[in-house]
Structure 1
Amino acid sequence: MKLSVIIPVYNVEVYLPECVLSLYQSGLSSIDFEVLLINDGSTDGSFQIAGELSKKYMNIRIFTQENQGLSAARNRGILEAKGDYIFFLDSDDFIYPNALPFLLKKAFENNLDILRFEYWNVTESGEKQSLSEYINKRKLYEDKIGDGYFLLENVYNREFYACFSLIKRSFLIQSGVKFTQGMYYEDIEFTISLSTFAKRAMYISKPLYAYRNRVTSIVNTFNRKKATDLIMVASRLRRLANQKEKVISHVLEETVTNLMIFVLLRISEPSLFKERTLLLDLMKEEGLKYLYPQKNLKEISIPILYNIMGCFSIYFLLPISYIKNKYITKKIRKK
């Protein structure tokens, strides 16, 4: 079997049929792939819909577990998968026609560990909205074969989504990399860690994935739990950087700094300002006392401010966070 498609399912009855049906409109014979629906304790009609779909398509397998989150569902899928390659598809997203045969042809012809491709941001109704802002940067590296450093340095551009890649199953299992359970931002650590093991990787600029923007409130979605998890992810990436050769470690450090800039800006907002001391203390405890300045003005000035002033830097970031929130709120209202 060529491909295992892993779809975590949790309360997505509105989107699940479109997601699954898109696989059968992709031009790949059903004998060449399997669909693993991991029902992660859904309380709506998702499980019933999954059952109906499995009656129609014999290559669908359903697994049910208590609600443990996206990471646990994906890890279960990896254990159960039988295909040569693995594709993580989120249950509220879908793929475009002819995507699977195209991807598999590229992967098998080039014996790839990881094949990264492009995506469309789509509205809740599935209408195309925008391509990644980094696509023009990445196009310079299209169809070139490189290693994990190639991906980290030239391709990801801070977009570490696991669902935008085709991954060789044997390579994934041999690496020992899994999704960390019970945490937000699990894709960041998984994608980066896995890439450090890759020997043959490729990028193609064809947008084959529809990433659905389910907008609730972008401004208010960041909380203490998410800040804590992001700090822990950055801490583990720093430890990983210390274990890797210099050519990869500097790219990992760049990611750590960017993640912490994001955290510093967010915890300077009013909604998290009361939590700032605890979160800043956690950064220090996790070995994030120092940030390495990077390329642009924001990535230079904020790390320097933090390195010199520590927790007091938050007060200088208040105006930046205020302006940023005003801009985001205005953008949401326009939509």
Structure 2
Amino acid sequence: MPLLSIILPIYNVKNYLERCYESIILQNYDDFEILLVDDGSNDGSSDLCDLLSMKDSRVKVIHKENGGLSAARNEGLKYAQGEYIYWIDSDDWIVKNSLKIIVEKLKKNNPDILKFNYYRHINGCLEKHNSLKSGCYEKPSIVDNLLKSAVIDVSAFGFTAWSHIYKTSFLRENKLEFVSERIIGSEDFLFNFQAYMCANKIEVLDEPLYYYD
């Protein structure tokens, strides 16, 4: 069983998928599986997914009818074999050596959730988004500090799925899934709010490990 299940929801991202895929494959850590969840793409992404799976036995493809981002993430979770879940948006990419940093923290502190910071391109400039201090938070500090910060300024806090790693057993035991973005305006906020309420331990890293384009 791999330590990480990396799930990529895919819908018409043919021009970006290989960049994302290569940022994962070229890491200096390799105990992971990649689940490419093709959400009914019609731009050639489906064929590209199949091609990538032929190159590496760790890559598995799930083809499904279009249901949206949340449905694709949930579908990937059903098939994940790893101890931890990492949802990555397939038009973004991850920092070099980030998986090794993530895994070292997971093994050291065994959190239900690991949160990290990220880079974002704004007006042609690369900026680091950061609102939290590194550390390990446990109840009641999770509610008193983390959730309070998220409610005060969601954008600065970064309540996105792709800036978190989740323990698989934690998600399944608490029956945590994404509500469709076609029903609510911010599926990531609702999912993470529920997850934080259920978590006993959350590890926060100040380091930016993800590129949001």
Q: For residues 155 and 58 of structure 1, what CA distance do their matches in structure 2 show?
A: 39
Residue 151 (structure 1) aligns with: 146
Percentage of pairs with the same residue? 35
CA contact (8 A) 2:111 2:203 kept: yes
Residue 220 (structure 1) aligns with: none
Compared CA separation, residues 120 and 145, structure 1 to 2 (3 A): same
2:127 aligned to which of 127, 130, 133 = 130
Q: Compute the RMSD of aligned alpha carbons.
A: 1.7
Residue 241 (structure 1) aligns with: none
Which protein has the bigger strand share?
Answer: 2
Q: Which has the larger radius of gyration?
A: 1
Residue 10 (structure 2) aligns with: 9
Q: For residues 21 and 108 of structure 1, what CA distance do their matches in structure 2 show?
A: 25
- One-letter code aligned to 1:138: L
Q: For residues 159 and 21 of structure 2, what CA distance do their matches in structure 1 show?
A: 23
SS at match of 1:75: helix
CA deviation vs aligned residue, 1:264-313 (integer Å, no higher than 9, x gap) = xxxxxxxxxxxxxxxxxxxxxxxxxxxxxxxxxxxxxxxxxxxxxxxxxx
Correspondence list, 1:110-259, <5 A: 110-122=109-121, 129-132=126-129, 135=130, 137-139=131-133, 142-147=134-139, 148-149=142-143, 150-154=145-149, 157-158=153-154, 159-181=158-180, 182-183=182-183, 184-212=185-213
SS at match of 1:28: coil
Query: How far off is 1:27 after superposition?
Result: 1.0
CA contact (8 A) 2:115 2:205 kept: yes
SS at match of 1:106: helix
Residue 301 (structure 1) aligns with: none
Structure ranking higher on relative contact order (CA contacts 8 Å, 6+ apart): 2
Q: Which structure 1 residue ranges, 5 or more long, are not aligned?
A: 213-335
Q: For residues 146 and 71 of structure 2, what CA distance do their matches in structure 1 show?
A: 25
CA contact (8 A) 1:143 1:203 kept: yes
Query: How far off is 1:144 after superposition?
Result: 3.0
Q: Which structure 2 residue ranges, 5 or more long, are not aligned?
A: none
Relative to the length of structure 2, the TM-score reads 0.90
Q: For residues 123 and 106 of structure 1, what CA distance do their matches in structure 2 show?
A: 29
SS at match of 1:90: coil
